[in-house]
Amino acid sequence: MVSQTEQNLLALMIFFIMLGMGCSLTWRDFFSALRRPWGLFIGMFSQFGFMPLIALALALMLKLDAYQAVGLIIMGATPGGTTSNIFTYFSKGNLALSVLMTVNSTLFAIIMMPLLLFLYGPIFATDEFTIPNKNIALTLGILLIPVGIGMFIRKLSANVGALLELAGGIVGIFVILFLVVTWIPNNAAILSTTPWQVYFCAIALGLIGIMVGYRFAKILKIHPRSCRTIALETGIQNGPLAITIVLLSFKGPVADQVVLIPALYSLFIVISASFITMYFRKANTNEEQRIPDLL
Amino acid sequence: MTTNDRPWLKHYGPKTRADIAVNDFRNIAEMLKHAAEKFKRKKAFTTCMSNGMNGSLSFEQVDRKSDAFALYLREKVGLKAGDRVVLQMPNCLSYPVAAFGVLKAGCVLVNTNPLYTAREMQHQFVDSGAKLIVIINMFTDKLQEVSKVHSFDEVLVSRVSDFFNPAVGRVMDLILKYWNKQVPTSPYQDNCFELAVRWGEKNFDRSKLEGYLKDISPETLAVLQYTGGTTGVSKGAMLSHLNLMSNMQQIFELIGTEIEEGKETVMTALPLYHIFAFTVNLMGFYTKGGHNILIPNPRPLSNLKRAFENYPITWLPAVNTLLNALTQEVWFCDSPPKTLKAAVAGGMALQETVAARWAEVTGTPVTEGYGLTEASPVISFNPFNGPKKRNSIGVPLPSTFVRLELENGEIAAPGEPGELCCFGPQVMLGYWNQPEETAKTLREGWLKTGDIAVFDEDGYLKIVDRKKDMIVVSGFNVYPNEVEDCLVKHPMILEAAVIGISDEKTTEAVKAFIVLKSGVDMPEVTEKEIMAHCKQLLTAYKLPRVIEFRNELPKSPVGKILRKELRREV
Torsion of CA B39, B277, B298, B291, to 10 degrees: 10
The pLDDT value recorded for residue B230 is 42
The pLDDT value recorded for residue A288 is 76
CATH (domain of B548): 3.30.300.30
B299 shares contact with chain A (CB less than 8 Å): yes
> Tens digits of per-residue pLDDT, B420-446?
999 999 999 999 999 998 998 999 999
Comparing CA positions, the residue from B94, B47, B173, B208 lying closest to residue B85 is: B94
Low-confidence ranges of chain B (pLDDT < 50): 1, 229-231
CA distance A131 to chain B (A): 39
- Please report the sign of the dihedral spanned by the C-alpha atoms of residue B356, residue B362, residue B366, residue B372: negative
Domain boundaries, chain A: 4-281
Contact B54 A291 (CB under 8 A): no
Residue A200's pLDDT band (boundaries 50, 70, 90)?
Answer: very high
Phi, psi of A60 (to 5 degrees): -70, -45
Mean pLDDT, chain A, as a whole number? 83
Q: Is residue B498 part of a domain?
A: yes
Q: Is residue B12 part of a domain?
A: no
> How many C-beta atoms lie closer than 10 Å to residue A195's C-beta?
11
CA distance B309 to chain A (A): 8
Query: How many structural domains compose chain B?
Result: 1
Contact A291 B556 (CB under 8 A): no
Cβ B156 vs Cβ B191: under 8 Å: yes
Q: Is the pLDDT of residue A130 over 80?
A: no
The pLDDT value recorded for residue A294 is 45
Set of chain B residues whose Cβ sits within 8 Å of the Cβ of A292:
299, 321, 555-559
Phi, psi of B39 (to 5 degrees): -105, 0
Compute the count of residue pairs across chains A and B with CB atoms less than 8 Å apart. 94
Contact A295 B115 (CB under 8 A): yes
Residues within 8 A of B (CB atoms), A 150-189 only: 154, 158-159, 161-163, 165-166
With vertex at residue B152, the alpha carbon angle to CA B150 and CA B156, rounded to the nearest 5 degrees, is 130
DSSP readout, B385-433?
TS---TT--BEEPTT-EEEEE-TTSPBPPTT--EEEEEESTTS-SEETT
Q: Is the pLDDT of residue A179 over 80?
A: no
Tell me the C-alpha distance between B324 and B489, whole Å. Answer: 12
The pLDDT value recorded for residue A128 is 55
Contacts of B523 (CB under 8 A, 6+ apart): none
Contact B270 A292 (CB under 8 A): no
Q: Is residue B378 part of a domain?
A: no
Of B299, B325, B328, the CB nearest to A293: B299
- Please report the sign of the dihedral spanned by the C-alpha atoms of residue B374, residue B27, residue B319, residue B461: negative
- Give the three-class secondary structure for B189: coil
Of A32, A154, A292, the CB nearest to B559: A292
Provide the residue count of chain A.
295
Q: Report which of residues A176 and B169 the model is more confident about.
A: B169
Closest residue on chain A to B307 (Cα): A158
Q: Is residue B70 part of a domain?
A: no
The pLDDT value recorded for residue B84 is 97
With vertex at residue B164, the alpha carbon angle to CA B159 and CA B166, rounded to the nearest 5 degrees, is 100
Cβ A79 vs Cβ A93: under 8 Å: no
Average pLDDT over residues A46-58: 92
CA distance B168 to chain A (A): 7
Set of chain B residues whose Cβ sits within 8 Å of the Cβ of A28:
309, 331, 334-335
Contacts of B241 (CB under 8 A, 6+ apart): B26, B27, B28, B103, B216, B217, B218, B219, B220, B222
The pLDDT value recorded for residue B383 is 87
Of A24, A290, A294, the CB nearest to B298: A294
Set of chain A residues whose Cβ sits within 8 Å of the Cβ of B325:
289, 291
Contacts of B279 (CB under 8 A, 6+ apart): B244, B247, B248, B251, B376, B377, B378
Contacts of A278 (CB under 8 A, 6+ apart): A91
Question: What is the extent of the structural domain holding B507?
Answer: 470-569
Tell me the C-alpha distance between B183 and B160, whole Å. Answer: 11
Burial class (CB in 10 A: 0-12, 13-18, 19+), B218: middle
A293 shares contact with chain B (CB less than 8 Å): yes
The pLDDT value recorded for residue B231 is 44
- Give the three-class secondary structure for A109: helix
The pLDDT value recorded for residue A131 is 62
B52 shares contact with chain A (CB less than 8 Å): yes
The pLDDT value recorded for residue A185 is 83
Does the structure's ipTM exceed the value 0.95? no
Q: Is the pLDDT of residue A276 over 90?
A: yes
Which residue, among B171, B321, B322, B334, would best test binding to A if mutated, counting the most A CBs under 10 Å from its CB? B334
Cβ A22 vs Cβ A151: under 8 Å: yes
Set of chain B residues whose Cβ sits within 8 Å of the Cβ of A25:
none
Tell me the C-alpha distance between B298 and B271, whole Å. Answer: 9
Cβ A62 vs Cβ A194: under 8 Å: no
Domain covering A4-281, topology: Na+/H+ antiporter like fold (1.20.1530)
Cβ B96 vs Cβ B62: under 8 Å: yes
